[in-house]
Structure 1
Amino acid sequence: METRDDLLIALKKTTLGTVTKDSSIEEKFQNETLRPILKFQNDLLLEVFRNYAIKQKGMFFTLSPEKKTMYVENSIQKDIKFRNSLKGIVIGLFTVTEYKEYILNSSNLNKRIMNLIIERIKSQIQLLELVD
């Protein structure tokens, strides 16, 4: 029987980004663990952000494209509860080994996670229109 870790490793079989012998531990973790998880969770992350924007009185949907990108950055950087929710969506797909690696440098890796999520959402902002 496959373990949880075996199933999670199978989901992340492809490294996204370049990993060399000179890559830092954080860069290696980002490209081997974080990027595959974010790619896998992309649709969920977009829907979570859409729901967040709706619950914040839907103002996001009336903004210009430039202001929408600022809204994405500000909401993820300043709303701690929302930020923790997004972080949980990513950390929940760590293997036990990855989690142990993560906790050794969680502060820097959290910054990477948030920056990657922000850039991912901003690059797909046109997909965040209201859906009935």
Structure 2
Amino acid sequence: MDQRDHQLLAFRGGAIGDILPQSSKEEIFQNQTLRPILKLQNELFLESFINYINKSKSDFYSFSTEKKMTFIDNAIHKDIKFRNALKGMVMGLFTIEEFRDYIQNSSSLNKRMMNLLIERLKDQVQLLIKREE
């Protein structure tokens, strides 16, 4: 493991969530890699989503809570460019070994990554406040 990987792991912190003997490889990756990165990058994700709202010219801030939740889902599931930008914010903090593990099962791990991120944004919808452009 090189210096970059050691620094990344120290910077991100340890696993979040239980890792049990019966945990699947995807579950282990989720708790050891994805959750710590999502926690670390939280402020960036919020700022990025606020920028997305502003660029979309939607009236997000006047939406009902239910409609805001749907907007978050649609933004991440349907806007491939935005989703890829979010994935890049996560993948940039992978170690080399984690990246190698990721590419072995990227489809399933992408699904987990985006679902965790959607839930994170939904849980913090009250922090999504309008900023002047």
Q: Which residue of 2 aligns with 1:128?
A: 128
Identity %: 55
Q: Which residue of 2 aligns with 1:21?
A: 21
* Moved beyond 3 Å, runs of 4+: none
Q: Which residue of 1 aligns with 2:79?
A: 79
Q: Which shifted more, 5-14 or 22-31?
A: 5-14
Q: Which residue of 1 aligns with 2:117?
A: 117
- Provide the TM-score with structure 1 as the length reference: 0.96
Measure the CA separation in 2 of the matches of 1:127 and 1:105: 33
Unaligned runs of 5+ in 2: none
Q: Which shifted more, 52-61 or 73-82?
A: 52-61
Q: 1:131 Cα shift?
A: 2.8
Q: Deviations over 1:49-81 (max 9, x none)?
A: 000000000421121111101100011000000
Measure the CA separation in 1 of the matches of 2:103 and 2:131: 38
Measure the CA separation in 2 of the matches of 1:36 and 1:131: 27
Measure the CA separation in 1 of the matches of 2:40 and 2:60: 25
Measure the CA separation in 2 of the matches of 1:70 and 1:14: 32
Q: Which residue of 1 aligns with 2:100?
A: 100
- Provide the TM-score with structure 2 as the length reference: 0.95
Measure the CA separation in 2 of the matches of 1:74 and 1:108: 19
Q: Which residue of 1 aligns with 2:59?
A: 59
Q: Which residue of 1 aligns with 2:69?
A: 69
Say how many residue pairs are matched: 131
Q: Which amino acid is the alignment partner of residue 12 of structure 1? A: R
Contact 1:12-1:32 within 8 A present in 2 as well: no
Partner SS for 1:16: coil
